Structure 1
Amino acid sequence: MDTKYTLIGEQNYKLPVLGRQLLVCLSACVYSFMLGLSFGSPTVAVAQLRARANSTAAVSREMGSWIASATGFVAIPTVVISVIVVHHFGRKKVFNYATVVSFVSFTIFYCSKNATHILVSRLFCGVLAGLLMSMVLMVMTESMTPRYRGLFFAFKSASVNWGIWCSNTIGTFCPYNYIGIVGISCSIINFLITFVMPETPFWLASRGRYEECAAAHRWLKGADEDAEKELKAIIESSQKDAKESTQTRKSLLTTVKEYWTIIVYQPSFYKPVSIGFIIQIMHVASGKMVLTMYAIEILGKVTKNKTTAHYFMLILDGFSVLGMYMGCFLAKRLKRRTMFLCSSTLSAILMFAVSFYLYLIKFKILSENNIIFLSILVLYSLVTCCGPILLFSVICSELFPLKGRSFGVILSGVNNSALFALSVKFTPYLLWAIDTENTFLFYAIFSITCIFLAYKYLPETKDKTLNEIAALFQ
């Protein structure tokens, strides 16, 4: 294959390779932090609005569930639109669009005074979440070296929990509107970072811009032997795809048939996407995001004290962040598959333990003890954030197929958004209908079912390039 490209300019970069990789990681972490701010905001905002009115009627159960789940529902069409935009206009431009959306979202949140205002802010946040699930994952997988990719994805995932903790802390001790100030500041920081970052090599190669692809790849990953080998593979793969693709305009029916062929007849597409779906279901089945969104309601029902519930929420948020960094440490030393399955299994066991404890209290076999309850939840938060919460985005992004990648990202993003939205929307009714102990039991059984499927089909992806991972499904 004739691969023609040269290096544009000198390699006298002010930052070493690790520094340039960290800059890309920082941008993704800031986006994730903003998403965490948004995820945590309904918990404290709804509680404050009800406290100000001295009535739960200020924010009904129906409105509360819509505020919590609106982000997920809006993210579904956003993922589809954003992947199409990213495919045609590049990752870097969409980064800038996402920055503007986040600025608008947090500005509305800062100015909000009632539940309707918060809901509008959450709708804009849904756009940000959809962009994050598509654009940021693509940027990181295409820009990171295999050596750092898992660790940087772990930092990105940990940033979501930092955002949740920050949001809940602000909402516990200050007016919830102050969360908007932090979000606006993060939007400005990311806007400045995007001026330094290059476009991703994969996208530049897909457009036949091989000179720019080589320059961007060397800016991101250096010019050592492994990096040059990967660069050559990217360009040769792109040239091969370009020769195979027809230059004539395709009808809608022809395009649909092609995608149907990819989905049904190409294992390199449907196998990794299907496994990714299982991992996403496990992420929801872990129950951690639901516990985060309705922490005050769930903890308040057990502790019978709103103040205690607030403090327990902050303690769990702190241990969740600690669990993420424990996971970052372990991710460098353990196999991805082993770590994910073991932590998910232990998380499910601890959900069974929470359910069992609450049953003992319900039938008056044990007297209520907040320390025991908190201790189990602390262990659950540590283990869950160390495994399924931390690793699900890492594994899913690594599994995105190279051929039909954009379509795979759309399917994955829609599935993830729908799962999140539906679980958050209907959990309040689940808590009301079957109570807290049965809700934990439901998620535990759901999680165990997914673990069996992941054990059977999930391959090891640690330290493998995207081409090597794709070869596992040929």
Structure 2
Amino acid sequence: MDAKYTLIGKQNYRLPVLGRQLLVCLSACVYSFMLGLSFGSPTVAVAQLRARANSTDAVSREMGSWIASASGFVAIPTVVVSVIVVHHFGRKKVYNYATVVSFVCFTILYCSKNATDLLVSRLFCGVQSGLLLSTFLMVMTESMKPRYRGLFFALKSASIYWGVWCSNTIGTFCPYNYIGIVGMSCSVINFFITFVIPETPFWLASRGRYEECAAAHRWLKGADEDTEKELKAIFDSFQKDGKVPIQTRKSLLTTVKEYWTIICQPSFYKPVSIGFIIEMMCVATGKLVFAMYAIEIIGKVTKNKTTAHYFMLILDGFSVLGMYMGCVLAKRLKRRTMLLCSSTLSAILMFAVSFYLYLVKFKIMSENNILFLSILVLYSLITCCGPMLLFSVICGELFPLKGRSFGVILSGVINSALFGLSMKFTPYLLWAINTENTFLFFAIFSTTCIILEYKYLPETKDKTLNEIAALFQ
């Protein structure tokens, strides 16, 4: 490392390295909690609006599907715009924008009185999701020490389900509008946290601001021997062949040619393609759509709305427990092994639910709500312990260093589109082919993704971003 970048003298920080790492993690967890609040709100809000009017016409199937899916579709253009902003102005500014949008989103939710108001809130939720999709993975992978990265990603993922559980609990026992109060409070808390955290070292290095990069890197990760080697690797990756990034305006044609060259390299399209498989797996597990339409799905099986609400809260609790079980297992098991095993068990349990519902349908066995709930509890535990927990961890680690912003755009657009489409069409799937065939569909879809993961997914645990990138050279 050049002399001017070496550590000179003792660095005095008010927080130790672990404390600073926890601060970054706390910010991500609060954001994730807010996403969970937003995600869970339609489940209880739609049910309350229909109950108040004593009619399902208060929120039609069409409107209900738009309320559930709108955030996914709005997130698509938001991801594209925000990644451009991230590339030119930094990750930290987009984080701040996301906080303001979150506050607006929850304010509208708190004031909402009908399905239209709820839809407007969901549109702002889509902007919030798009902003965070573009920065979440970059900030965490670029700011976390490799030894903490898996655990902190797991805690972030668990926070989403804490948000869903909190949202559903509020909506079960109180007016759903109170969800907005919790969301606004979280927005204010995170607004102050984001001002303490520095810009990510990778972005600073990409702009040629190496002194600031070194300072930010040491603030985030300390100055031990391994961390200094990682810092040198960052400098080397941006100063290869003596080229230093120069902030000049390029023509559109030049920019397109540069990105096309990057896209055609195995170091780009291989990790992005694997990331796409992981994103499909996240949807194929069915956990997202079953969480969104939990009351409708469970209500159709149990024939009792009150039972459906309590079953939903039980499953939310076990989902959170599954996340923390995954946090423990993630420290001991390889990512690839953990993902493949948990995904396989999740698919088996979806087949089991479908089989049970077929047996009841053809009157081979009588309805047994305890058996049905037990299978769903195991399904929630294992799915959250594996695929839902590791999705963001592995995708964040796989993003290529070259063309990283473009890779985030592709990932964010694909993820948002898959989410939006699955939320939009699941109600029609449940109506057209019934609950048992819907579980069967997702089980087969999940099995296909597992086969592709087994063939192409490499191991990424405890590797730096440069070491992971080297796997695809």
| AA aligned opposite 1:448 | T
| AA aligned opposite 1:80 | V
Q: CA deviation at 1:46?
A: 0.2
Question: Partner residue of 1:360?
Answer: 359
Contact kept in structure 1, 2:206 and 2:245, CA below 8 Å: no
Cα deviation code 1:164-213 (max 9, x no counterpart)? 00000000000000000000000001001012111111111111111111
Secondary structure of the residue aligned to 1:187 is helix
Task: Quote the Cα distance in structure 2 between the aligned partners of 1:247 and 1:123.
Answer: 35
Q: CA deviation at 1:136?
A: 1.5
Question: Partner residue of 2:15?
Answer: 15
Q: 1:319 to 1:471 in 2, by over 3 A?
A: same
Cα deviation code 1:310-336 (max 9, x no counterpart)? 000000000000000000000000000
Q: CA deviation at 1:257?
A: 2.6
Secondary structure of the residue aligned to 2:157 is helix
Question: Partner residue of 2:45?
Answer: 45
Cα deviation code 1:424-456 (max 9, x no counterpart)? 100000000000000000000000001000000
Q: 1:110 to 1:247 in 2, by over 3 A?
A: closer
Task: Quote the Cα distance in structure 2 between the aligned partners of 1:453 and 1:152.
Answer: 27
Secondary structure of the residue aligned to 1:403 is coil
Question: Partner residue of 2:155?
Answer: 155
Question: Partner residue of 1:110?
Answer: 110
Contact kept in structure 2, 1:3 and 1:232, CA below 8 Å: no
Contact kept in structure 1, 2:42 and 2:68, CA below 8 Å: yes
Contact kept in structure 1, 2:30 and 2:190, CA below 8 Å: yes
Task: Quote the Cα distance in structure 2 between the aligned partners of 1:290 and 1:137.
Answer: 23
Question: Partner residue of 1:466?
Answer: 465
TM-score relative to the length of structure 1: 0.98
Task: Quote the Cα distance in structure 2 between the aligned partners of 1:54 and 1:242.
Answer: 70
Contact kept in structure 1, 2:92 and 2:199, CA below 8 Å: yes
Question: Partner residue of 2:299?
Answer: 300
Residues 1:27 and 2:60 are matched in the alignment: no
Residues 1:196 and 2:211 are matched in the alignment: no
Deviates more, 1:174-183 or 1:240-249: 240-249
Task: Quote the Cα distance in structure 1 between the aligned partners of 2:389 and 2:242.
Answer: 36
Task: Quote the Cα distance in structure 2 between the aligned partners of 1:458 and 1:224.
Answer: 31
TM-score relative to the length of structure 2: 0.98
Question: Partner residue of 1:309?
Answer: 308
Contact kept in structure 1, 2:274 and 2:456, CA below 8 Å: yes
Q: Could you say what the CA RMSD is over the residues aligned between the two structures, in angstroms?
A: 1.4
Contact kept in structure 1, 2:44 and 2:168, CA below 8 Å: yes
Question: Partner residue of 1:72?
Answer: 72
Secondary structure of the residue aligned to 1:194 is helix
Task: Quote the Cα distance in structure 2 between the aligned partners of 1:71 and 1:3.
Answer: 49
Deviates more, 1:288-297 or 1:2-11: 2-11
Question: Partner residue of 2:440?
Answer: 441
1:158-237 equivalences under 5 Å are: 158-237=158-237
1:228-267 equivalences under 5 Å are: 228-240=228-240, 243=243, 249-264=249-264, 266-267=265-266
Contact kept in structure 1, 2:207 and 2:247, CA below 8 Å: no
Question: Partner residue of 2:333?
Answer: 334
Q: 1:255 to 1:56 in 2, by over 3 A?
A: same
1:369-448 equivalences under 5 Å are: 369-448=368-447
Task: Quote the Cα distance in structure 1 between the aligned partners of 2:362 and 2:12.
Answer: 71
Q: CA deviation at 1:248?
A: 6.7
Task: Quote the Cα distance in structure 1 between the aligned partners of 2:315 and 2:365.
Answer: 23
| AA aligned opposite 2:135 | M
Q: CA deviation at 1:258?
A: 2.5
Secondary structure of the residue aligned to 1:195 is helix
Q: 1:240 to 1:91 in 2, by over 3 A?
A: same
Question: Partner residue of 2:146?
Answer: 146
| AA aligned opposite 1:425 | K
Q: CA deviation at 1:48?
A: 0.2
Question: Partner residue of 1:95?
Answer: 95
Q: 1:109 to 1:67 in 2, by over 3 A?
A: same
Task: Quote the Cα distance in structure 2 between the aligned partners of 1:248 and 1:114.
Answer: 50
Q: CA deviation at 1:356?
A: 0.1
Q: 1:60 to 1:140 in 2, by over 3 A?
A: same
Task: Quote the Cα distance in structure 1 between the aligned partners of 2:428 and 2:13.
Answer: 56
Contact kept in structure 1, 2:7 and 2:223, CA below 8 Å: no
Q: CA deviation at 1:246?
A: 7.9
| AA aligned opposite 2:315 | L
Percent of pairs with identical residues: 88
Task: Quote the Cα distance in structure 1 between the aligned partners of 2:212 and 2:257.
Answer: 33
Contact kept in structure 2, 1:74 and 1:126, CA below 8 Å: yes
Task: Quote the Cα distance in structure 2 between the aligned partners of 1:443 and 1:49.
Answer: 29
Deviates more, 1:131-140 or 1:169-178: 131-140
Question: Partner residue of 1:280?
Answer: 279
Q: CA deviation at 1:392?
A: 0.5
Question: Partner residue of 1:452?
Answer: 451
Task: Quote the Cα distance in structure 1 between the aligned partners of 2:180 and 2:387.
Answer: 29
Question: Partner residue of 1:121?
Answer: 121
Q: CA deviation at 1:9?
A: 8.6
Q: CA deviation at 1:139?
A: 0.5
Deviates more, 1:364-373 or 1:255-264: 255-264
Task: Quote the Cα distance in structure 1 between the aligned partners of 2:279 and 2:352.
Answer: 23
Secondary structure of the residue aligned to 1:216 is helix
Task: Quote the Cα distance in structure 1 between the aligned partners of 2:241 and 2:121.
Answer: 42
Secondary structure of the residue aligned to 1:426 is helix
Task: Quote the Cα distance in structure 2 between the aligned partners of 1:426 and 1:16.
Answer: 49
| AA aligned opposite 2:295 | I
Q: CA deviation at 1:251?
A: 2.8
Contact kept in structure 2, 1:130 and 1:413, CA below 8 Å: yes
Question: Partner residue of 1:132?
Answer: 132
Contact kept in structure 1, 2:430 and 2:438, CA below 8 Å: yes
Contact kept in structure 2, 1:7 and 1:215, CA below 8 Å: no
